[in-house]
Amino acid sequence: MAEQVYTVASDSETTGEDKSQPSFPDVAIGIDIGTSKCSVAVWNGHQVELLKNTRNQHGMRSYVMFKDDNLSAGVTGGATRENAHEERDILSGSAIFNMKRLIGRTDTDEVVQASKALPFLVQTLGIGVRPFIAALVNNMWRSTTPEEVLAIFLLELKALVEMHLKHPVRNAVLTIPVAFSRFQQTRIERACAMAGLHVLRLMPEPTAVALLYAQQQQQLMHDNMGSGIEKIALIFNMGAGYCDVAVAATAGGVSQIRALSGCTVGGEDILQNTMRHVLPNFDSLYAGQTMDRIKSMGLVRIATQDAIHKLANQESVEINVDLGNGQQVSKVLDHSEFEQVNRAIFEKCEKIINQCLVDAKLVPEDINDVILVGGCSRIPRIRSLVLGLCKKEVSYKNVDALEAAVSGAALEGAIASGVTDPSGSLDLLTIQATPMNLGIRADGDGFAAIIPRNTTVPARRDMLFTTTHDNQTEALIAVYEGEGERAEDNHLLGYFKIAGIPPAPKGSVEISVCMDIDASNVLRVFAGVVKPQGPAIPPFIEVRMPTLDDGHGWCGQALAKMYGKTLDLAVLPKKLQP
């Protein structure tokens, strides 16, 4: 029987002849920029292909080396084997790495504070501005920004892909951590724009893995002629910088994200905890970066990292480092010690897994497959912890821990580029959910969530508010994103004022605030007076978020201090609503 082909013609060039030959130049590439490693993949017309660099690596170290006037990123890693950057060069202060942890954060952020233990310069003033970051070039600190570093890296990555595909590349799907705020997302988009890449979509990492899983399940179903039974997968992804969990329900190529949760905890924290354990006077020893301190800190870092990797396969490991100046570190580290040192991190992982299950309204018995991905998924304690919570003996086998996310991103890139595949392997759909609550400041320092986390997108929700003072004519709408109970515990995305509220006793005016996330994941906030009605009310205001640029750390506090009392709103109790 001839296959039915439906054609929706929207331009004259439509022909159906080249249906098995997707036009290559338009296929978006998939990029997974990891805190530690980065990879890139593309749909080659039949399957996802992971690209290798000139040194034959799939996973390329994420850093940019500043040397004299030359910049070189980890994509080529010094271009050839002879010129290869060694790990100790990367840790010499001349390279900037961990961009993904620093991007879009202010100097009051604890993640930025923790980044001071890195060999390059991270200077903070603690006033809610972007941190000062610099690399050592000819014994001088040369300033840069996380966006710039990321853009340089992406530029080199783009060149690699173009060399491989032999045509220009413009569009990309990037994976991002679940914990990334909307503000951080705009920074990633900016870095991509600087590198000449158009972001087709930013995809939370575990949802990219879920897409790959959906494709595999779809394939299995075709092969076995099985029925389209819904399968629930819990995806746990932990890399060097972030930890993410997703629960996805999959059937018939549709991957429905039931819940997402994430936090800024990863291998970098494990490494730092372990370094401080191995070298108890780590912080005092390395306070203030001098050339020899940077060098010896690099040695400790390499030795500790190596030890952690070895601990995945052996009971204990010996760490020996010569710090110079006659100082020597010699320590035997075993599993129980390692786990004790990093207990808080493992607890955090447990917490977000449990939260994700609760949010998905599922119990461990509902889960069909547990998918463990990311570099940290190799740590035995992490594996046993996740499998234990999900009451499973083994994890899902058909994905590569380091390549699953980028493969999913490449699939999404192909699908989003409109590529079809005769075998149906691109007949996939991901129904995404919002990872964080979106709402406004109300009732003093409170946070009223208008779109709760794990709401399916696209979404539109609204909520009624009222004035807190008699004859209050203005109200501040401060939009936040996050999990905190108080507004200040969340990320401020933007703010605006409703003016011209008709004078009335407090509590009698009704102000509607509506939030809309459209198909492009753009957030818009609509607000205005809905009661009283009449000619004397001001027009509604529509604002696309986030509106804030850099240096917003203290903006929320400034707003609260200046206007918190006078322009406050209260959530209208539901019993008073019509």
Partner 1 sequence: MPHLAATPSTSSAAAAAATVPAALPTGSGCVAFRRPWTIPRPVALRLRLRAQGVRRESGGVRTEEQEQETTARTFYDLLGISAEGSPDEVRAAYRRLALKYHPDVSPPGAAAENTRRFIEVQEAYETLSDPSRRASYDRALARGVCRLAFSGSRAQRAYYHHQDHEEKSGWRRSWEDQITELKRRSMTKDSEENLSWGARMRRRAEASSAE
Which of positions 209-228 make contact with partner 1 (CB under 8 A)? 221-222, 228
Number of residues that bind partner 1 (CB under 8 A): 80
Question: By C-beta, is 35 or 417 nearer to partner 1?
Answer: 417
Q: In the set 200, 210, 240, 263, which binds partner 1 (CB under 8 A)?
A: 200
- Closer to partner 1 by Cβ: residue 332 or 358: 358
State the minimum distance, in angstroms, from the CB of residue 348 to partner 1: 24
463 binds partner 1 (CB under 8 A): yes
CB of 82 to partner 1, least distance (A): 41
- For partner 1, the binding residues in 18-77 under the rule CB under 8 A are 19, 22-23, 26-27
**Direct distance between the N- and C-terminal alpha carbons of the chain, in angstroms, rounded to an integer:** 58
Between 560 and 572, CB nearer to partner 1: 572
- Which of 269, 209, 213 minimizes the C-alpha distance to 242? 269
For partner 1, which stretch binds (CB under 8 A), given 2-10, 65-73, 159-167, 500-508?
Answer: 2-10
The least CB distance from residue 542 to partner 1, in Å, is 7
Write the CB contacts of 359 (distance below 8 Å, at least 6 apart in sequence).
Answer: 247, 258, 259, 261, 453, 454
Closer CB to partner 1, residue 319 or residue 360? 360
Contacting partner 1 within 355-384 (CB under 8 A): 361
Distance from C-alpha of 282 to C-alpha of 290, rounded to nearest angstrom: 14
- Asked whether position 285 contacts partner 1 by CB under 8 A, the answer is no
Q: Output the CA torsion sign for 498, 502, 507, 511.
A: negative
How far lies 420's CA from each of 46, 424, 428, in Å? 10, 7, 10
Q: Which is nearer to partner 1, 286 or 480 (CB)?
A: 480
Task: Name the one range near partner 1 by CB under 8 A: 4-12, 278-286, 314-322, 556-564.
Answer: 4-12
Minimum distance from residue 45 beta carbon to partner 1 (Å): 12
Residues between 428 and 457 with contacts to partner 1, criterion CB under 8 A: 428-431, 452, 456
Is residue 415 close enough to count as binding partner 1 by CB under 8 A?
yes
- Among 81, 198, 309, 544, interactor with partner 1 by CB under 8 A: 198
Considering the complex, what minimum distance in angstroms separates the CB of residue 176 from partner 1?
15
* Nearer to partner 1 (CB atom), residue 13 or residue 393: 13
E strands, 113-242, where? Answer: 121-123, 132-137, 140-144, 171-176, 198-204, 231-238
Site for partner 1 in 229-268 (CB under 8 A): 230, 249, 251-252, 254, 256
Query: Shortest approach of partner 1 to residue 429 CB, angstroms?
Result: 6
Q: Which one-letter amino acid corresponds to residue 236?
A: F
Cβ partners under 8 Å of residue 309, min gap 6: 378
Containing 537, the helix (H) or strand (E) segment is none
Question: What gap in Å lies between CA 310 and CA 274, rounded to an integer?
Answer: 13
Nearest to 445, CA basis, from 461, 468, 462, 464: 468
Shortest distance in whole angstroms from residue 28 CB to partner 1:
9
Which residues ranging from 148 to 167 are in contact with partner 1 (CB under 8 A)? none
Question: What's the CA dihedral at 251, 254, 258, 263 to 10 degrees?
Answer: 120
* Residue among 53 and 434 whose Cβ is closer to partner 1: 434
The piece of 129-137, 277-285, 462-470, 487-495 that touches partner 1 (CB under 8 A) is: 462-470
Judged by CB under 8 A, the chain residues 471 through 530 that form the site for partner 1 are: 510, 512, 514, 518-521, 526, 528, 530
Site for partner 1 in 395-414 (CB under 8 A): 412
Is the CB of residue 508 less than 8 Å from the CB of residue 570?
no
Cα–Cα distance for residue pair 122/110, rounded to 1 Å:
12
* Of 6-14, 83-91, 285-293, 378-386: span binding partner 1 (CB under 8 A): 6-14
Edge-first strand listing for the sheet containing 475-482: 446-451, 437-442, 475-482, 491-498
| Cβ-based neighbour number of residue 13 at 10 Å | 6
From residue 548, alpha-carbon distances to 34, 263, 291 in Å are: 26, 23, 38
Distance from C-alpha of 441 to C-alpha of 448, rounded to nearest angstrom:
6
Least distance (Å) between residue 167 CB and partner 1? 14
**CA distance linking residue 116 with residue 133, whole number of Å:** 10
Least distance between partner 1 and beta carbon 373 (Å): 23
Instruction: Give every CB contact of residue 454 below 8 A, 6+ residues apart in sequence.
Output: 258, 259, 260, 359, 360, 433, 434, 435
Kindly write out the interface string for residues 305-344 of this chain, putting x where it contacts partner 1 by CB under 8 A and - elsewhere: ----------------------------------------
Select the residue interacting with partner 1 from 168, 380, 388, 424 (CB under 8 A). 424
Q: In terms of residues, how long is the chain?
A: 578
Nearer to partner 1, 19 or 391 (CB): 19
